[in-house]
Amino acid sequence: MSKCGSDCRIYSVVKMNSKGQIVLPKNLRERAGFKPNGKIALMTFEKEGEICVVLMIKAERLGEAVTKTLSPML
């Protein structure tokens, strides 16, 4: 596990299969609280028209994340 900042960690590098699917490591799913059949929102960040970051967040926490992100701008 590598650190890329005080709160940012790289847990692993995963391979996408021929169907475009990935498997999240068990320890990451457990720490994140991802449950079978749970909903995960995918958010992207772009730079120069190219997606450079894909972020996963539990769907039930999406509203909280959006509010926290936008509140300094309002």
Residue ranges per structural domain of the chain: 2-73
3 CB-near residues (< 8 Å, 6+ apart): 9, 10
pLDDT at 66 over 90: no
At residue 13, the pLDDT reads: 93
Q: Which of 56, 59, 65 is nearest to 22 (CA)?
A: 56
Q: What is the pLDDT of residue 57?
A: 87
Structural element, H or E, at residue 55: strand 50-58
Per residue in 6-34, pLDDT tens?
A: 677 788 899 999 999 999 999 999 989 99
Give the whole-angstrom CA distance, residue 62 versus residue 40. Answer: 9
pLDDT at 37: 93
Q: Does CATH place domain 2-73 in 2.10.260.10?
A: yes
Give mean pLDDT, residues 32-54: 92
Percent of the chain at pLDDT > 90 equals: 51
